[in-house]
């Protein structure tokens, strides 16, 4: 017999919701095509980090599937910062490119913040440029919100989770996820207006804090860190972590687990995202959505 918690638990299906986002993209792309506009994304890969290459290829493939003009620029690991920035500036000038993404991490001799600042804010579909960070903080919807927090928000709204007035606890304070999601969910806006707490490595009595969450978001990059006793009965849990752990039985010798101990936590929750198949698939869908948004804003005057 199943426990009560198990009966009511909903698995938040990232693939299904991502497909809905992509369907919206297709509709917008078809609409733009009527005006002769094809959204374009340039992805710049420096060096030959295997994981980075996998991500870049996945983005390229998704663009082609959707009918987004995809430009993959591969630069040698020894490229100078000046050459990299010159490549970005070419993309800035190219009217057919609506989005520019530099795959991180970059080699150590390159200053990542200088590179991000070289991207035209209106083409910064990753939302990492200071102008877009400020817009998010200042609740100016004309900017780009980073894809992962945007994906988390969409997972919640599509699952019918009430965000307004909810106690949201975010584990992790990175600019790419935790802090950005906090700024997003505390906005005076639909799908926001939450009471947000940001917890992190210096938080005392962490379990006491996370147990207060109606919505708990784990974004700390520690495999299965969140245990059953850290989660309130009936909470909604969003697991941003994608951690590789050794698994001799797996084909590749490893498998992916989240920041949440899924098997132990899931039965207590009202809804939870799996890893993989949760936040990860949303991130790439939101990148497509941001690229289409850029094309609409830049070229269709929407």
Contact 156, 184 (CB under 8 A): no
Identity of the residue, 107 or 121, whose beta carbon is nearer to a second copy in the bound complex: 121
Active-site position among 28, 98, 124, 126 = 126
Is position 126 annotated as part of the catalytic site? Answer: yes
157 scored as a contact of a second copy (CB under 8 A): no
What contacts 2, CB < 8 A, 6 or more positions away? none
Angle at 243 between CA 182 and CA 266, to 5 degrees: 70
Residue 110 token pair: 């390159």
Q: How far is the CB of 199 from a second copy (least distance, A)?
A: 5
CA 268/CA 260 separation, integer angstroms: 12
When the beta carbons of 87 and 187 are compared against a second copy, the nearer one is 187
* Minimum distance, C-beta of residue 224 to a second copy, in the bound complex (Å): 22
Provide the token pair at 133.
Answer: 């960070």
Residue 76 near residue 47 (C-beta atoms within 8 A):
yes
Q: Where in 204-223 is the site for a second copy (CB under 8 A)?
A: 204, 209, 212
Query: How far is it, in rounded angstroms, from Cα 103 to Cα 55?
Result: 8
Looking at the Cβ atoms of 32 and 176, the one nearer to a second copy is 176
Residue selected from 30, 51, 58, 134 as contacting a second copy according to rule CB under 8 A? 134
**Taking the complex as a whole, how short is the minimal distance between the CB of residue 125 and a second copy, in angstroms?**
17
Number of shown-chain residues binding a second copy (CB under 8 A): 32
Asked if 187 is an active-site residue, the reply is no
Least Å distance between CB 149 and a second copy?
A: 13
- Regarding 138 and contact with a second copy (CB under 8 A), the answer is yes
Name 11's bridge partners.
Answer: 272
28, two tokens:
């917008």
Candidate list 28, 59, 268, 293, residue with the active-site label: 59
x/- string (CB under 8 A) for a second copy, residues 84-113? Answer: -----------------------------x
Which residue out of 28, 62, 98, 103 is catalytically annotated?
103
Q: From residue 160 to residue 199, what is the string marking binding to a second copy with x (rule CB under 8 A)?
A: ----xxxx-----x-x---x--xx--x-x----xxxxxxx
- Span from 37-45, 84-92, 203-211, 265-273 in contact with a second copy (CB under 8 A): 203-211
* 81 belongs to the catalytic site: no
Residue number with CB closer to a second copy (42 or 220)? 220
**HEC profile for 249-267?**
CCCCCEEEECCECHHHHHH
By beta-carbon proximity to a second copy, the closer residue of 204 and 252 is 204
The tally of CA atoms less than 13 A away on the side-chain side of residue 238 is 32
203 binds a second copy (CB under 8 A): yes
| CA 17 – CA 217 distance, rounded (Å) | 18
* Cβ closest to a second copy, residue 77 vs residue 138: 138
Residues 6+ apart with CB under 8 A from 269: 5, 9, 231, 234, 235, 236, 237
Would you state the structure tokens that stand for residue 142, as one six-digit string? 């004309």
Alpha helix locations (H) across the chain? 4-8, 14-33, 50-66, 81-93, 112-118, 130-137, 147-158, 178-185, 206-210, 262-265, 279-299
Q: What is the binding site for a second copy (CB under 8 A)?
A: 113, 130-131, 133-135, 137-138, 164-167, 173, 175, 179, 182-183, 186, 188, 193-200, 202-204, 209, 212
Catalytic residues: 59, 103, 126
């Amino acid at each position: 017999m199943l426990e009560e918690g198990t009966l009511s638990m909903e698995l938040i299906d990232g693939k299904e919701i991502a497909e809905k986002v992509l369907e919206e993209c297709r509709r917008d792309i078809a609409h733009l095509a009527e005006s002769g506009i094809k959204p374009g994304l340039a992805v710049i890969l420096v060096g030959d980090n295997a994981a980075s290459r996998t991500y870049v290829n996945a983005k390229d493939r998704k663009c082609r599937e959707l009918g987004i003009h995809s430009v993959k620029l591969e630069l040698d690991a020894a490229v100078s910062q000046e050459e990299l920035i010159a490549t970005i500036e070419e993309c800035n000038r190219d009217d057919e490119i609506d989005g520019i993404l530099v795959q991180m991490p970059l080699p150590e001799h390159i200053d990542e913040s200088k590179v991000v600042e070289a991207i035209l804010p209106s083409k910064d579909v990753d939302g990492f440029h200071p102008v877009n960070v400020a817009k998010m903080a200042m609740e100016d919807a004309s900017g780009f919100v980073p894809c992962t927090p945007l994906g988390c928000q969409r997972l919640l709204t599509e699952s019918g989770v009430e965000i307004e007035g909810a106690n949201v606890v975010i584990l992790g304070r990175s600019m790419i996820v935790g802090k950005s999601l906090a700024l997003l969910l505390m906005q005076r806006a639909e799908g926001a207006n939450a009471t947000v707490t940001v917890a992190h490595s210096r938080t005392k009595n962490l379990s006491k804090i996370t147990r207060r969450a109606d919505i708990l978001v784990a974004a700390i990059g520690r495999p299965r860190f969140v245990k059953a006793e850290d989660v309130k009965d009936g909470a909604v849990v969003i697991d941003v972590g994608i951690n590789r752990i050794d698994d001799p039985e797996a084909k590749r010798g490893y498998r992916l687990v989240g920041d949440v101990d899924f098997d132990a936590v899931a039965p207590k929750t009202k809804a939870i995202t799996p890893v993989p198949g949760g936040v990860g698939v949303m991130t790439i869908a939101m990148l497509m959505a941001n690229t289409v948004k850029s094309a609409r804003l830049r070229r269709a005057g929407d």
